[in-house]
Chain A
Amino acid sequence: MTSPQTTPRLDIRDLSVTVQTDEGEAKILDRASLKLMPGSIHGLVGESGCGKSTLMRAVLGILPKRGRASQGEILLDGRDLLKTSATELQSEVRGGQIGFIPQDPYQAFNPVFKVGTQLLETMRGKPAAQRDANIMSLLRSVQLPDPEHALDRYPHQFSGGQRQRLLIAAALVSTPSVVLADEPTTALDVTTQAQILKLLRGLAEARGLSMLFVTHDFGVVAQLCDTVTVMYAGQTVESGPVRQILTAPLHPYTRMLLACHPDRGTALAGIPGSVSSPLRPPSGCRFHPRCPSARPDCSAAVPPVTEPGDRHSVRCVLHAMGVAA
């Protein structure tokens, strides 16, 4: 789907996040940038440990106690969340303007409370009539069977797929403009996964949601997302429309990542080497130790972002000078 070139709903600019650990300061995110345009579904892809979760937590304002954003901005409709108070973040942003869909439907619910209590938790204090009507239509729109009795049941009485639908409903209860989805289909079987993805797509379009979909699976990105950002070791290396990136990836990491996917590669491909530790990250572009096209200036400084294609940006020296890899 196309979106006019307007201001992004969510604009993350040069975000760096560090976390104090027993072994020193871990630089989890290094100048990560991302734009979520209104009405679009934007994927955030990367391996485990690349910092996707930290990015989400930074947006939601729930970084771990010893973590802080050392630089950058997170603009939600123009308002910098890093400069917003904790109270406002809790009452207005989380469960308000931003809805959150968690990864594991089996662990996300509190087992000793009814599903209804938990779903409506963020609506406490709002008028009852508005709340009830909203939740029923919501439960129907996520295609939950028997919505009338669902609220009185306990989480263990639902299947995994049903719980995920409930969690989606929970995210939408406050009619947010932005939804953050944290790999919500990882814990489900393939069939259910496909159903949920379809549901998310439908809901996003119907309600004009702007969705940031975090995942490690490019296949899901291909099915669901309009645009995508690729992350590696805390740096955002490439961004752009999904079609473009799939057909003509620019960054060496993106290329190798795509080659790894079983649907694409002919042999069992992998990426040599292993991800660096955030405690002692490589200088400059963090991928350079494993990159087959590495140059001396890769380690000198973090490459600037360039935009070789239409809304297709990349952070790589190979494209900084307009040289094709």
Chain B
Amino acid sequence: MARFVLHRLVLTIPALFGLLVLTFIMLRVVPNDPSAALAGENATPEQIAEVRRAYGFDQPLWKQFVIYVGQVGTGNLGNSIISNRPVLRDIADRLPATMELTFVSLLFATVVGIPIGAIAAVWYQSLFDHAVRVLTVAGLAIASFWFAIILQMIFAMELDWLPLRGRFPEGLAPPYHLTGLYFVDSLLTLRFDLFGRAAEYILMPAFTLSLAGLASIARFTRAGVLETLQKEFVHYAEAAGYRRLRIIWVYVLRNSVVGATTQIGLLFGGLISSAVAVEAIFDWPGVGSYAVNAILSSDYKAVLAITLVVGLIYALVNIMVDVVHAWLDPRVAEKL
């Protein structure tokens, strides 16, 4: 198993390296002459040249790349134009909010999606199955930003049941910062009232974000279960006298889920993409809304840093998914 993890890590390195190259190219291409921009509008040619030397822009491109990689390695991704703080610090501050939102969405999508998909498969061609098929396809066609706005309109504006935007009520102090995750922190500090407030605020964003994931999970669970039900070991289990409920919920489900784990990685990518718009709409203080602000203000260092960080996280998530896959299906690890 350790060998498998190592193998997977090694496989990811070229892609991440390529990403570094890509972002470097984008970094150097964007400002036509970064030294001129940095030196200011009224700079003399000598001053511009000075800036160029100071920033190392006069070095050959490959040397600049090496410097860049070094910078990335030490976490120096530049400063944000807007906040004037190191971009990485900005991102780190906002990461817990995004992680919490993503995690709650994924949890909901999985807990609801898998049983729905499984039941639809077991009750194949029933009314429930048809309904699930229709709803899941529809769910994938609904634009999450549109859905978010509609939800806001109904539940916040019209009915006033839920807060319109934000992660926490203004003026109220959030739970003591232990992890940055409000749910965890509020529970750890035994502030159940704060837990409730956090839940109120996360409800709409998380539900919006989970929609596409739920539809996706229900679909491939259904497909997986349908396929597994055809397998020989299901017929054998029945003939050998296994209890029907156990056959479906333990034996078949595990096989279907195992087959679908690779889909979860793709799902996560979609989740991150959707999170950008959803965070912007709900004013959720995460990396997504940060990205939107950054791009609208042409804060290119921030955008590139986000690209790198998201790429890294995405790669790690995919590795974890593969590891879980190997753990669930022992044949995978041994294929090496």
A56, A96, A109 — most chain B CB neighbours (10 Å): A109
CB of B241 within 8 A of CB of A122, answer yes
Cα(A60)–Cα(B328), bound, Å: 32
Closest chain A residue, CB of each to CB of B332? A112
List, in ascending order, chain A residues with CB within 8 A of B258's CB.
112
Query: Quick check: is B3 within 8 A (CB to CB) of the other chain?
Result: no
List, in ascending order, chain A residues with CB within 8 A of B240's CB.
94-95, 99-100, 102, 121-122, 170-171
CB of B330 within 8 A of CB of A90, answer no
Contact (A94, B251) CB under 8 Å given A107-B231, A107-B233, A112-B328:
no
Query: Quick check: is A304 within 8 A (CB to CB) of the other chain?
Result: no
Closest chain A residue, CB of each to CB of B250? A113
Which residues in chain A, 97-114, are within 8 Å of chain B measured between CB atoms?
99-100, 102, 104, 107-113
Contact (A62, B239) CB under 8 Å given A107-B231, A121-B246:
yes
**A-B contact number at CB 8 A:** 72
Query: Quick check: is B55 within 8 A (CB to CB) of the other chain?
Result: no
**Which of A60, A110, A122, A174 has a CB less than 8 Å from the CB of B251?**
A110
Cα(A171)–Cα(B242), bound, Å: 12
List, in ascending order, chain B residues with CB within 8 A of A111's CB.
233, 255, 329, 331
CB of B239 within 8 A of CB of A94, answer yes
Query: Quick check: is A264 within 8 A (CB to CB) of the other chain?
Result: no
List, in ascending order, chain B residues with CB within 8 A of A108's CB.
232-233, 236
Contact (A110, B241) CB under 8 Å given A102-B236, A104-B232, A121-B246:
no
List, in ascending order, chain A residues with CB within 8 A of B244's CB.
90
Least Cβ distance of B294 to chain A in Å? 44
List, in ascending order, chain B residues with CB within 8 A of A57's CB.
239
Contact (A113, B239) CB under 8 Å given A108-B232, A121-B246, A154-B330:
no
Query: Quick check: is A318 within 8 A (CB to CB) of the other chain?
Result: no
Closest chain B residue, CB of each to CB of A170? B240
A80-93 interface code vs B (CB 8 A; 1 in, 0 out): 00000000001101
Cα(A121)–Cα(B240), bound, Å: 9
Contact (A90, B329) CB under 8 Å given A109-B233, A110-B251:
no
Interface residues of A (CB under 8 A from B): 56-57, 60, 62, 90-91, 93-96, 99-100, 102, 104, 107-113, 121-122, 124, 154, 156, 170-171, 174
Known: A94-B238, A95-B240, A112-B255. 10 other contacts (CB 8 A): A91-B243, A94-B239, A95-B242, A107-B231, A112-B328, A121-B242, A154-B331, A156-B330, A156-B334, A170-B240
